[in-house]
Amino acid sequence: MPTALITGASSGLGAEYAHQLAGKGADLVLVGRDRVALEEVAARLRGRVEVEVLRADLLRGRDRGRVEARLADEDRPIDVLINNAGFGLPLAFETNDIEDEAGHLALHVEVPMRLTHAALGPMLARGRGRILNVASVAAFMPRSTYGASKGWLVSFSRWANAVYTPRGVTVTAVCPGYTHTNFHERLGLPPGEEGIPAWMWLDARTVVSQSLADVARGKAVSVPTWRYRMLTALVRVLPDALAFRLGMRGR
Burial code (b: 16+ CB inside 10 Å, e: under 16) for 208-224 equals bebbbebbeeebbbbbb
pLDDT band at 244 (very low <50, low <70, confident <90, very high): low
> Residue 247, SS3?
helix
pLDDT of 102 over the 60 cut: yes
- Comparing CA positions, the residue from 215, 206, 144 lying closest to residue 174 is 215
Range from 15-24, 32-41, 55-64, 196-205 carrying the lowest mean pLDDT: 196-205
pLDDT value, residue 237: 64
d(CA 120, CA 84): 17
Domain that holds residue 231: 3-247
Q: How far apart are the first and last CA of the chain?
A: 40
Per the annotation, the verdict on 146 as an active-site residue is: yes
Q: How far apart are CA 134 and CA 224, in angstroms?
A: 12
CA angle 186, 96, 175 (to 5 degrees): 55
Q: Which residues are paired to 5 by β-bridges?
A: 29, 81
Domain count, the chain: 1
- Determine phi and psi for 222, rounding to 5 degrees: -115, 120
**Bigger pLDDT: 139 vs 197:** 139
Residue 81 binned pLDDT confidence (cut-offs 50, 70, 90): very high
Reported pTM: 0.89
Chain segment 154-170, per-residue pLDDT in tens: 999 999 999 999 999 99
Please tell me which residue in 146, 164, 178, 228 is annotated as part of the active site. Answer: 146
Q: Picking from 55-69, 128-142, 148-162, which range would have the lowest pLDDT averaged per residue? A: 128-142
Which is more confidently placed, 249 or 165?
165
- Helix 111-126 crosses helix 61-72 at what angle (to 10 degrees)? 10
3-state percent helix, strand, coil for the chain, nearest multiple of 5: 55, 15, 30
Average pLDDT, the chain: 90
Residue 243: which CATH number? 3.40.50.720
Question: Are 157 and 218 a contacting pair, CB within 8 Å?
Answer: no
